[in-house]
Structure 1
Amino acid sequence: MRREVSMEEISDGKLYEANDMVKADCHDCEGCHDCCTGMGDSVVLDPLDVFRLCAGLGKTAEELVSLGYIQFDAADGNILPHLCMRGREESCVFLNGEGRCSIHGFRPGFCRLFPLGRYYENGGFRYFLQIHECKKTNRSKIKVKKWIDTPELKKYEKFVADWHYFLLDVQEVLYQAEDGELIKNLNLYVVNRFYMKAYEKNEDFYAQFYTRLEEGRKLLSLAKE
C-alpha cells in the first residue's frame, strides 16, 4: 500500500538489507497486541498470504471470505484482500481471547514485517523501520531476516517485489482504461487467478505463482495494445 508521507517522517532514516541488524525485536510482544487492533483495511494480503491461510486453517479462499476472515476491497486502484477486524476495538479476527495471534505460525507477511516497512526502488526493495508504529519502547536489535521469520527468504523477497511491480503495471492499465468492462474484467482476473483459484498444497507455491504471473503479464501486454 502506498504512503503519502516522506521517509523522514516515518523512519529512522536508514534502509536495511536482510542481513542487517535493526531495532525491531519487541520480545514476543509480551502483554501487548496494539498492532492487532484498529488496523482497518491496512493488512493487505498477497497471494502467498492467502495460500498460507488456506493451508493453515484447512479452508478454501471462498470459505475465508464467507467466514469473515478476509474481505476484498479497493487498494490503490487494485481489488485486493485484507484481514478483517471486528468488535469495538476493531481487533484482528485472528486475535484470541488472551490477546495472542491464533495464526502466528502462518501469519501474513504484513504481520511478520511489522514494525518494518518496505521501500521499493529499481525493481526491488529494502526495509525501513517505522518509528511511530510500535508502542514498545524496549525493543532490541535483531537481524532483519530473523525477525521476518520466512523460509526461503530470497525466493520470498523476489516474489514480493515481482508481485508489487505487477500490481503497479495493473494500476497503470486501470488508470488509463476508458472501457469500464476492461477495468472490471482485469480486476476480476487478478482476484480469481491469483487468490480464489486454489494452489496445489503439495506443490511449490512459487512455481505455481510464476506460471500465473507470466499469464498475467501477457494479458497486460494485450490490454496495453
Structure 2
Amino acid sequence: MKTLKTLEGISDGKIYDIKDMVKADAGGCEGCSACCHGVGDLVVLNPFDVYEIASYLNVSFDELLEDKIELRLNDKIILPHLKMHGESERCGFLNEEDRCYVHAHRPNICRLFPLGRVYEEDDFKYFLQVGACLKNKLKKVKVKKWIGIKNHQENKAFILAWHNFIKALSFRIKFIREEQELSEINEYLLNMFYRMTLKEGEDFYTAFFARLPEAKAKLGII
C-alpha cells in the first residue's frame, strides 16, 4: 500500500492494490440504493459493461438504448451511460425493492464503488472515496473480493487498453471541426466495440483485442 499525494479531500490518502484490505464493504447495503440514483453523468459504460449486461439479459445494445442506457457526448466522444428515471433519477436496473437485478453483471464503476481508479503509466491502482458511501461503518475487505470480477488479469488488460484508446482518441478528435467527420467517428466507435458480434466459442477479450489494431489504424491512433 502506498501514500496517495493527489485527490486530496476525497480519498483517505492511500492507494491500494488488488490484494490489499480496504474499508469498502457496505455489508450488502441493507436496502440502501443511494449510489444508484442521480449518477447518469458518472457511470460511463465501456464495451465490456455493455457486453456483460446485454448477454445476461439476452438483449442487444440497441435494445438497451431504448430504456436502460443512453448516449452522452463528452469531449466530442459519444459513449453510453446509465439512464436515470423519474424525479429521483433512479437507475433503470433497480427492481421494485430498489435492488440491482443485474448486480452480478453490473458496470465496472458500480462494481468499484466506493473505490475509484488512479492510473499510473501502464497500470492502475485503487483509492477509497471517503464519505461517498452513506453507510457509517464500512468493513474491511480485500480489494479483489470487493470488485469480484472474473478473469481479473484479462479484465485489467482490457480496462487499461480501453482507457488508453479513449484517451488517445480524445486527443485525436480535439482538432476535428467537421460535424460529419465527428459523427462518422462516433458511429464507427459504437459499431466496432459496442455492437460487437462474437464468433462461436470466442470470448469478449479475444474479440476486443482482435478489433483494437484495426480501430486504431482506422482512427489514426498510434
Q: Same fold (TM over 0.5)?
A: yes
Unaligned runs of 5+ in 1: 1-5
Name the counterpart of 1:135: 134
Deviation at 1:211, TM superposition (A): 1.1
Deviation at 1:177, TM superposition (A): 2.0
Q: Tell me the alpha carbon deviations over residues 56-114 of structure 1, each in whole angstroms, 9 at most, x when there is no partner.
A: 00101111112x11111113432100111112211110111111111111111111110
Is 1:81 the counterpart of 2:80? The answer is yes
Name the counterpart of 2:204: 205
- Which moved further from structure 2: 183-192 or 53-62? 183-192
Whole-Å Cα distance in 2 between the matches of residues 194 and 207 of structure 1?
Answer: 12
Check the 8 A contact 2:52/2:105 in 1, yes or no.
yes
Name the counterpart of 1:193: 192
Pair 32,201 (structure 1): closer, same or farther in 2 beyond 3 Å: farther
Deviation at 1:201, TM superposition (A): 7.0
Name the counterpart of 1:24: 24
Whole-Å Cα distance in 1 between the matches of residues 197 and 51 of structure 2?
Answer: 8
Whole-Å Cα distance in 1 between the matches of residues 123 and 78 of structure 2?
Answer: 22
Check the 8 A contact 1:53/1:106 in 2, yes or no.
yes
Whole-Å Cα distance in 1 between the matches of residues 31 and 181 of structure 2?
Answer: 49
Whole-Å Cα distance in 2 between the matches of residues 126 and 157 of structure 1?
Answer: 10
Check the 8 A contact 2:76/2:182 in 1, yes or no.
no
Alignment of 1:57-136 (within 5 A): 57-66=57-66, 68-136=67-135
Deviation at 1:189, TM superposition (A): 1.1
> Residue type matched to 1:155 in 2?
E
Check the 8 A contact 2:78/2:186 in 1, yes or no.
yes
Check the 8 A contact 1:21/1:142 in 2, yes or no.
yes
Give the TM-score normalised by structure 1: 0.91
Check the 8 A contact 1:61/1:198 in 2, yes or no.
no
Counting aligned pairs with the same residue, the percent is: 43
Pair 219,144 (structure 1): closer, same or farther in 2 beyond 3 Å: same
Deviation at 1:216, TM superposition (A): 1.2
- The SS at the match of 2:174 is helix
- The SS at the match of 1:10 is coil
Is 1:153 the counterpart of 2:152? The answer is yes
Unaligned runs of 5+ in 2: 1-5
Name the counterpart of 1:177: 176
Whole-Å Cα distance in 1 between the matches of residues 199 and 48 of structure 2?
Answer: 12
Whole-Å Cα distance in 2 between the matches of residues 202 and 93 of structure 1?
Answer: 31
Name the counterpart of 1:33: 33
Name the counterpart of 2:3: none
> Residue type matched to 2:204 in 1?
F
Name the counterpart of 1:162: 161
Q: Tell me the alpha carbon deviations over residues 30-50 of structure 1, each in whole angstroms, 9 at most, x when there is no partner.
A: 131100112132111000011
Give the TM-score normalised by structure 2: 0.92
- The SS at the match of 1:125 is strand
Supply the RMSD in Å over aligned alpha carbons. 1.6
Q: Which has the higher helix share?
A: 1
> Residue type matched to 2:219 in 1?
L
Whole-Å Cα distance in 1 between the matches of residues 82 and 57 of structure 2?
Answer: 14
